[in-house]
Amino acid sequence: MGIALKLAVPVALVAFGAAAHVPALAAATPVAQPFRAALNQSPTYGVGRSPKPDELKAIDIEVTPDGKGLRHGSGTAAAGKDVYTRRCETCHGPTGKEGPQDVLAGGQGSLTTARPQKTVGSYWPYATTLWDYINRAMPFDHPSTLTVDEVYAATAYVLFLNGIVGERDVLDETTLPQIKMPNRNGFVSDPRPDVGAPAKKKHPSS
């Protein structure tokens, strides 16, 4: 996170201070030509630089639903109980149902009722993105302080509380993507044209 904060301003200044960094879309669209012309006339101040590959790697931590980006490591619910007790229980309760913060367990089958309960077990679509969320944002007061193995173990324990994995099932970069969450098929594709699948372009001759 420290690297991300340090790079954010310099990279932005480079992007807006040099015409070479204008996105391809901006360079190609007629509407953007005045913007590009303004950049060509804008002074540069010698501030900022392009990030180095190792700096980009340090902040490139996202994990996709198919598991791409998962770190090498492993954990079980048996090991995760200790992690959960020390780092998670204060906010989510001893069984994940008490709160005072988000309820993590239970609620399966409730989404179609008058009182739906969104938990990891009832709502969350991918076990891989649960790992990603815990890795990035938990514990709330000290995010990103868990080790990789602790993240796997905490993930396993939350899944165990929801009856999705066994207490000694080993979760790692290979087994975690294979878990099918109960509500995996409860989502639909986003129909908005700006975020959905790209429309196929017609051939000029058609």
What is the per-residue pLDDT across 19-58, written as a single tens digit (0 to 9) for each?
444 444 444 455 566 667 666 777 778 888 889 999 888 8
Task: Specify the pairing of strand 74-75 against strand 171-172.
Answer: antiparallel
Do 27 and 109 lie in one domain? The reply is: no
State the Cα–Cα distance between residues 162 and 76, nearest whole angstrom. 14
CATH of the domain at 104: 1.10.760.10
Q: Which of 71, 92, 91, 86 is nearest to 135 (CA)?
A: 71
Do 112 and 160 lie in one domain? The reply is: yes
Do 43 and 116 lie in one domain? The reply is: no
pLDDT at 67: 97
Q: Can you give the pTM of this predicted structure?
A: 0.69
Do 80 and 54 lie in one domain? The reply is: no
The DSSP bridge partners found for residue 75 are: 171
193 has a pLDDT exceeding 50: yes
Q: What is the pLDDT of residues 5-22, one digit of tens each?
A: 444 444 443 443 444 444
The DSSP bridge partners found for residue 171 are: 75
Do 158 and 126 lie in one domain? The reply is: yes
Residue 163 lies in domain:
74-178
